[in-house]
Amino acid sequence: MRTPLEELCLQIKILKLGAIASFLRKALDPPSEEAVQLAITHLMDLNALDRNEELTPLGFHLARLPVEPHIGKMILFGALLGCLEPVLTIAASLSFKDPFFIPLGKEKLADMRRKVLSKNSKSDHLTIVNAVWGWEDAKRRGNRFEREFCWDNFLSANTLQMLHNMKGQFTEHLLGAGFVSSKNPKDPISNINSENEKLIKAVIVAGLYPKVAKIRPSFSKKRPMVKVYTKPDGKVNIHPKSVNAEETEFHYTWLIYHLKMKTSSIFLYDCTEVSPFSLLFFGGDISIQKDQDQDTIAVDEWIIFQSPARIAHLVKDLKKELDSLLQERIKNPQPVDWSDTKSKDCAVISAIIDLITTQESNSGRGAAPRGGESYYD
């Protein structure tokens, strides 16, 4: 109920039908008050509604996109940050379904092929991007190559074509709203940063936050595995179909996920390893607390990092600039002019991209949470 309800809430506001809860109470089969309140809170967390339950500029655009609000936010950020096409692939797959299938008796081989396609990204979402790029390349070479690529990698050509069509539809919406200058998802201007894996992961955070999980190493001598925890559920497992299911060597200690499944236990169906800077810049509100020569920097007061005081304040200032810039861009949509290197917008975005991209892999371990970890036990 929750996801379509969020879309319905935005439609109520864009059609100016009054307070959401009051309007929905008149429905023939009204949703529960709790479900309505949850949807409103989530839209406020997304910054689609303000605290007075009015549409923000972001909410206005999300209401016009034919996807769930959080996926719409991911699409807008992909356009604004110059990594449009891979983000559209991820958005289409999350809205429809991923293109992989698993024939009975060939589960191990299918897992191995997905792992190869992941290219060590430690991301189910980027695995789909790599699969689509591989399919497009094979398709250009002819029908036989396309069939072989799909067969070898356990991919559905029909699903891949559907994802391709959806990306075109999304781009037409973005063009109509003024966020891009071409209806081609592969337009070079909109994809100046599309090879930047860490930036794409940060955009995934922008859409899927607060669906965050914490990785902790397991010190079992028999089988070195990681333990995974979420704030609402405590200990969870990574689904066997995920490319991260058997992973033991993560660069960072955080995952972002889209779907949870509950069977014998709770599984994260799809997940992506993300860096601390991705969470700091594209997660929730950040706050700083003093602690001698170190500062503690927190996202929404529960994702906590230690950081030198100078870095903590730099991040907070840059985050404020980014939020302001994105708000302005969403209020007055236009493609980012990446050639205008002297503009403040370009300088702020470039500084954040540099921080996200050049952050050393081992700094993820150095930014380990401190305190407030009772839900990980």
Return the percentage of the chain with pLDDT > 90, whole number. Answer: 70
- For 119, 267, 270, 298, the CA distances from 240, given in Å and listed in that order, are 18, 9, 10, 31
Comparing CA positions, the residue from 276, 114, 86 lying closest to residue 197 is 86
Look at residue 366 in the predicted model and tell me its pLDDT.
44
Task: Kindly list the domain boundaries of the chain, sorted by start residue.
Answer: 2-64, 70-194, 205-275, 279-376
The residue assigned the tokens 């401190």 is: 370
Cβ neighbours of residue 361 closer than 8 Å, sequence gap 6 or more? 251, 252
Residues 230 and 236 sit within 8 Å (Cβ to Cβ): yes
DSSP 111-139: HHHHHHHHTT--BHHHHHHHHHHHHHHHH
Look at residue 340 in the predicted model and tell me its pLDDT.
84
Sheet of 254-257, strands arranged across: 260-262, 266-268, 234-238, 226-230, 212-217, 254-257, 271-274
- For 59, 267, 370, the CA distances from 289, given in Å and listed in that order, are 32, 34, 12
Stretch 215-230: mean pLDDT: 80
Residues 348 and 318 sit within 8 Å (Cβ to Cβ): yes
Look at residue 71 in the predicted model and tell me its pLDDT.
97
39-89 per-position pLDDT tens digit: 999 999 888 999 999 999 999 999 999 999 999 999 999 999 999 999 999
The rounded mean pLDDT for the chain is 90
**Does the structure show a pLDDT above 50 at 303?**
yes
Buried-exposed string 111-147: b where 16+ CB fall within 10 A, e elsewhere = bebbbebbeebbbbbbbbbbbbebbeebbeeeeeebe
Residue 318: pLDDT band by 50, 70, 90 thresholds?
very high
The alpha helices in the chain, defined as continuous H runs, are 2-14, 20-25, 33-45, 57-64, 69-80, 84-95, 107-118, 124-141, 143-152, 157-177, 197-208, 276-282, 309-331, 344-358, 363-366
Return the percentage of the chain with pLDDT > 70, whole number. Answer: 92
Lowest-pLDDT range, 89-98, 191-200, 253-262, 323-332? 323-332
Helix 197-208 vs helix 344-358: angle between axes, to the nearest 10 degrees? Answer: 100
CA distance 148 to 17: 53
Look at residue 1 in the predicted model and tell me its pLDDT.
36
Helix/strand/coil (H/E/C) assignment for every residue in 99-111: CECCCCCCHHHHH
Look at residue 377 in the predicted model and tell me its pLDDT.
41
CA distance 181 to 26: 42
CA distance 240 to 279: 25
Residues 340 and 313 sit within 8 Å (Cβ to Cβ): no
**Does the structure show a pLDDT above 90 at 129?**
yes
Cβ neighbours of residue 77 closer than 8 Å, sequence gap 6 or more? 87, 203, 206, 207, 282, 326
- 3-state SS class at 234: strand
CA distance 11 to 85: 27
- For 12, 24, 47, 195, 271, the CA distances from 51, given in Å and listed in that order, are 16, 19, 9, 37, 31
Strands 260-262 and 254-257: unpaired
Residue 368: pLDDT band by 50, 70, 90 thresholds?
very low
Lowest-pLDDT range, 14-18, 236-240, 340-344, 368-372? 368-372
- 3-state SS class at 154: coil
Look at residue 160 in the predicted model and tell me its pLDDT.
98
Look at residue 292 in the predicted model and tell me its pLDDT.
64
**Does the structure show a pLDDT above 60 at 365?**
no
Distance of CA 205 to the CA centre of its chain: 4
Look at residue 221 in the predicted model and tell me its pLDDT.
64
CA distance 78 to 120: 22
19-29 per-position pLDDT tens digit: 999 999 998 88
Lowest-pLDDT range, 98-102, 278-282, 309-313? 309-313
Look at residue 344 in the predicted model and tell me its pLDDT.
85
Look at residue 103 in the predicted model and tell me its pLDDT.
87
Look at residue 130 in the predicted model and tell me its pLDDT.
98
Q: Which two tokens stand for residue 177?
A: 């709203």
pLDDT greater at residue 361 or residue 176: 176
